[in-house]
Amino acid sequence: MVQTVNTLISGVGTTLLLLVLALGIGFALGVPLGILHVYGRRPLRLLVSGYDAVMRGFPAIVLLFLIYFGIGSLPGVRIPSLHAAILALGLRSAAYQGRLVEGTLRMVPAGQLESALAVGMRRTMAIRRIVLPQALRFSLPGLANEYSIVLKDTALAFTVGVVELMSRAKFLAASKREIAQAYLLAAALYWILTQLGLLGFGWLERRARISGFGSGRR
């Protein structure tokens, strides 16, 4: 039992690495995508809507296989399995986070942007300094949900050879015939990581709440 737990825990570090980097890529791309959804010119809005439709239109495992087995099989191209998993999960998360940011940007009263423009502030500066900070506060509940989803999606990485939590569970189930025990313990670890993350986002939401302006919940 102890050895099984230790083996599973040895894969948690890679799972967290996948999670953090995928969410980071998703956030770095999702914020500009959300801004373009709301404030971009029509050609740019169509472009980001197309990206959104593609990334959200098929399962994450298909995108992972396209990157690792498809692009990675091209002449002169070699994509390590870990990098492929991070890229696939990050690009997919960006589409969801972009829509999340779009929704929270629309929650900020339009009059705030209009007032900033009326006093001579440039549009980009007004969005960056006035609208976006509020929108990001409002997005915390949605980001918590995205954390939970991406954490579970990291389990797909074992299909391309990444040695993470799910891969360790599969190894234990195959080598020691501890099928039920291995997968139940893996499920428990995923649950613990999920709850810890949700607690962290809940703390951030309380700290970032704007006094007198609601909780930012949708």
Burial 54-89 (b: 16+ CB within 10 A, else e): ebeeeebeebbbebbeeebeeeeeebebbebbbbbb
Q: How far apart are CA 147 and CA 143, in angstroms?
A: 6
The residue that leads in pLDDT, 213 or 208, is 208
Mean pLDDT of 55-66: 94
Widest pairwise Cα distance in the chain = 70
Check pLDDT > 80 for residue 211.
no
* CA separation for the pair 163, 9 (Å, rounded): 12
Burial class of residue 150, CB neighbours in 10 A (0-12, 13-18, 19+): buried
Give 187's contacts (C-beta < 8 A, 6+ positions apart).
Answer: none
Determine the pLDDT at residue 136: 93
d(CA 35, CA 32): 5
Q: pLDDT, tens digit, for every residue of 78-120?
A: 999 999 999 999 999 999 999 999 999 999 998 899 899 899 8
* Tens digit of each residue's pLDDT (9 = 90 or more) over 158-201: 999 999 999 999 988 888 777 888 899 999 999 999 999 999 99
Domain spanning 14-163 has what CATH number?
1.10.3720.10
pTM, two decimal places: 0.90
pLDDT tens for 125-148 read: 999 999 999 999 999 999 999 999
Q: Give the per-residue pLDDT at 174.
A: 84
Mean pLDDT of 187-216: 83
Q: Name the pLDDT band for 210 (thresholds 50, 70, 90).
A: low
CA atoms within 13 A on the CB side of 43: 0
Domain ranges of the chain: 14-163
